[in-house]
Structure 1
Amino acid sequence: MHVGIAGAGLLGRLLAWRLSTRGHRVTVFDPAPDAGPPQPGSVYAAGWTAAGMLSPLAELECADAHVARLGLRSLDLWQAIVAQLPGEVYFHRQGSLLLAHRPDVGAAQRLLDLLHSKAPGGMQPRPLPLAKLRAMEPSIHGPAQAWLLEQEGQIHTVQAMLALAAGASAQGVQWHWGQAVTQVAPGRIEAGGRTHGFDWVFDARGLGARPDLPVRGVRGEIFWLHAPGVQLLRPTRLLHPRWRVYIVARPGDLIVVGASEIESEDRSPVSVRTTLGLLSAAHSVIPELAEARIVHSESNLRPALPDNLPMIDTRTGLTRLNGLFRHGWLIAPAIVEDALSQVPGLEAGSPEQVTA
């Protein structure tokens, strides 16, 4: 089949890679100038601005059991996908940590009660004695309580975005960069002043799908810190009174700290309030970060629907995917898998190695 994809963010790249590996002819349209990392001041896909925590249980705080199941499935899919992509993509699945300082233990317990009530069978946070925490993560000091979420993991989002585009290109995907999609319809994409016909169309534009979908932007902000000597093997979430502060290590002595969640479509640079709040919280968990250097900060908008849940809308000739909210990297592979299963002929003869 000849498949057209509107949008080359995370969903668009996953679709292009997966369909091209199955022998389909794929054409993608996106307003970005190329497949590379975004340039300062540009508008770019939400997938670039993420810590890469793959935390289906922890996300039950603001999601439902369906999202958790999608996240668990996606963890298996990511492991299989990363093994087939060109280049290096950092992917680890050694669990994640929930931490709380002493004044916040009560609020943490309420969250844990919520997770226990919503978690599918077999997914429960495990209390972690502080001595065990320090043996596992020697750079962490300060929290009064800790819990291990054993099935969770992380992925290097920038490496994965680049590798998905490279892998799809190697399979013959045609990319039309610098071409914003102005309209999608069954079997048709309008972009670059022309109408392009396809056997099937996927609309994965996020905020670009407005006004066809009631999608809104939710602002998020992150920092990259260069922190030689800091050891952190597992993605960590501090149960902060205001935010859930994520601390995630990456190769090259980098630590990613995020992410605020603000009901605003402001794309301006990171605020002083966020800088003070997130970095102070991260320092309270890992004191060595006092000597880290801020090498990068960015803000972006996550696409969210009114219920903050993901959407797959399929009709003859057209599938719309949207509303991944803060769960994009967590659930995207399973969302793509479910969407393709709804289109006759697209998943026929799928390679066994991609079905983890």
Structure 2
Amino acid sequence: MRRAETDFAVLGRGVAALTCATMLREAGFSVEVVVPNGAPAPISHLAGGMLAPYCEGETAPAAVVANGQRALSWWSEHVPDVKQNGTLVVAPPRDQRELERFSQRTSHHRWVAPEEIEPDLADQFSRGLFFPEEGHLDPRKALASLESRLRTKNVAFTHAPHARQIIDCRALQSADQLRGLRGVRGEMLIVRNPLLALSRPIRLLHPRFPCYIVPRDDGVYMIGATMVETGFAGRPTAQSVMALLSAAYSVHPSFAEAEILEMGAGVRPAFEDNIPRVIHEHGRWHVNGMYRHGFLMAPHCAETLIHMLQEVRT
């Protein structure tokens, strides 16, 4: 029996793909998610999962700050365990100018004594910036939850497309079809540190090795991330691992006793301006260029895709 044709085949299994598939299904379209046999885990699995549009304003274009503000509510509506505990930004005593500069380039924050927000950081930092409207999630749990939700809504996960239209969310695998798409390498660690109890992401400012520490469950933390303009993936370098561990140690000395659970490196897709795009070329839709803003910008990109599709239909 011939298989019924669906409206859209979404290529990929990362945050852009599953978010687009979710919104397409909610809009009433029939959808399938296409993942070839042997496809590696998506780059989204290495993400920090920070929903922090105001912090990103330090370096991100204004469009990312504005369009990322809906991300926290969208994820809270679609997956469990999204936390809105804010973000705490700190800097070592010698780098207080970095903290002042960060304050000037961002908004929706207030100056705090860090131990008022995170008691375990008592005596570590004299002051910090608190962004109360921000949040975070566990990327792997969020993606698994989206996939489970899609399956309950009769969205098939297949190895080849059977749809009339293609939504290509394959990150750098689409580089041969998208002009200007480049790779930006990032590296991260996942550690277990039961000696510390943090409830929100901590961003450590440093002129050479800035990093962030994102709490997971059961004393587990994700530490990231270096940003290198290269398309090379491979494994984390010793230099980067030492830099990340050194930065984490400067946040709290207990990280010297942490158990390293995982080290990862991947290459994020990005356009020249580091703003994600929805593109229609040669009969195919592309949602790509997430850079370091995948979970922050995926809901906006999916909404943009739906609007563009509706305009084409009318």
TM-score of the pair, normalised by structure 1: 0.81
Amino acid at match of 2:105: L
Amino acid at match of 1:9: G
Instruction: Indicate if the aligned counterparts of 1:340 and 1:346 stay in contact, CA closer than 8 A.
Output: no
Matches within 5 A, 1:109-148: 109-115=100-106, 123-128=107-112, 130=113, 133-140=114-121, 141-148=123-130
Matches within 5 A, 1:157-306: 157-177=139-159, 196-198=162-164, 200-213=165-178, 214-306=180-272
Match of 2:52 among 51, 55, 63: 55
Q: Counterpart of 1:259 in 2: which secondary structure?
A: strand
Amino acid at match of 1:228: P
Q: Counterpart of 2:57 in 1: which secondary structure?
A: helix
Q: Which ranges in structure 2 are unaligned for 5 or more consecutive residues?
A: 1-5
Residues 223-281 of structure 1: per-residue CA shift (max 9 Å, x gap):
11111131101111000121331111111210111011011222111111111111111
RMSD: 2.2
% of aligned pairs identical?
30
2:88 maps to which residue? 97
* CA–CA separation in structure 1 for the residues paired with 2:44 and 2:253: 29
Instruction: Indicate if the aligned counterparts of 1:29 and 1:175 stay in contact, CA closer than 8 A.
Output: yes
Amino acid at match of 2:135: G
Q: Counterpart of 1:159 in 2: which secondary structure?
A: helix
Instruction: Indicate if the aligned counterparts of 1:19 and 1:346 stay in contact, CA closer than 8 A.
Output: no
Instruction: Indicate if the aligned counterparts of 1:340 and 1:347 stay in contact, CA closer than 8 A.
Output: no
Instruction: Indicate if the aligned counterparts of 1:21 and 1:171 stay in contact, CA closer than 8 A.
Output: no
Amino acid at match of 1:114: R
* CA–CA separation in structure 2 for the residues paired with 1:223 and 1:176: 32
Residues 54-91 of structure 1: per-residue CA shift (max 9 Å, x gap):
11011112212211111111112111112xxxxxx431
Match of 2:75 among 71, 75, 78: 78
1:16 aligns to 2:21 (yes or no): yes
Report the CA distance between 1:5 and its aligned residue: 1.2
Amino acid at match of 1:234: R
Amino acid at match of 2:120: S
Instruction: Indicate if the aligned counterparts of 2:209 and 2:247 stay in contact, CA closer than 8 A.
Output: no
* CA–CA separation in structure 1 for the residues paired with 2:142 and 2:234: 25
Report the CA distance between 1:155 and its aligned residue: 0.7
* CA–CA separation in structure 1 for the residues paired with 2:302 and 2:55: 22
Instruction: Indicate if the aligned counterparts of 2:187 and 2:224 stay in contact, CA closer than 8 A.
Output: yes
Instruction: Indicate if the aligned counterparts of 1:20 and 1:172 stay in contact, CA closer than 8 A.
Output: no
Amino acid at match of 1:139: D
Residues 127-155 of structure 1: per-residue CA shift (max 9 Å, x gap):
11x2xx21321222422330101111101
Q: Counterpart of 1:276 in 2: which secondary structure?
A: helix
Q: For structure 1, which segment, 150-159 or 22-31, has the greater mean C-alpha deviation from structure 2 after superposition?
A: 22-31
* CA–CA separation in structure 2 for the residues paired with 1:345 and 1:22: 14
Q: Counterpart of 2:255 in 1: which secondary structure?
A: helix
Amino acid at match of 1:153: G
Report the CA distance between 1:33 and its aligned residue: 3.7
Amino acid at match of 1:59: E
Q: Counterpart of 1:92 in 2: which secondary structure?
A: coil
Report the CA distance between 1:110 and its aligned residue: 2.0
1:7 maps to which residue? 12
Q: Counterpart of 2:20 in 1: which secondary structure?
A: helix
Amino acid at match of 2:224: G
- Deviating above 6 A after TM superposition, structure 1's stretches of 4 or more consecutive aligned residues are 345-348
Cα separation, partners in 2 of 1:241 and 1:316, compared to 1, 3 Å? closer
1:107 maps to which residue? 98
Residues 165-202 of structure 1: per-residue CA shift (max 9 Å, x gap):
1111111112224x6xxxxxxxxx6xxxxxx441x321
Report the CA distance between 1:108 and its aligned residue: 2.4
Cα separation, partners in 2 of 1:346 and 1:153, compared to 1, 3 Å? farther
1:354 maps to which residue? none
Cα separation, partners in 2 of 1:347 and 1:103, compared to 1, 3 Å? farther
* CA–CA separation in structure 1 for the residues paired with 2:24 and 2:49: 23
Report the CA distance between 1:28 and its aligned residue: 2.0
Cα separation, partners in 2 of 1:315 and 1:228, compared to 1, 3 Å? same
Instruction: Indicate if the aligned counterparts of 1:101 and 1:145 stay in contact, CA closer than 8 A.
Output: no
Q: For structure 1, which segment, 230-239 or 308-317, has the greater mean C-alpha deviation from structure 2 after superposition?
A: 308-317
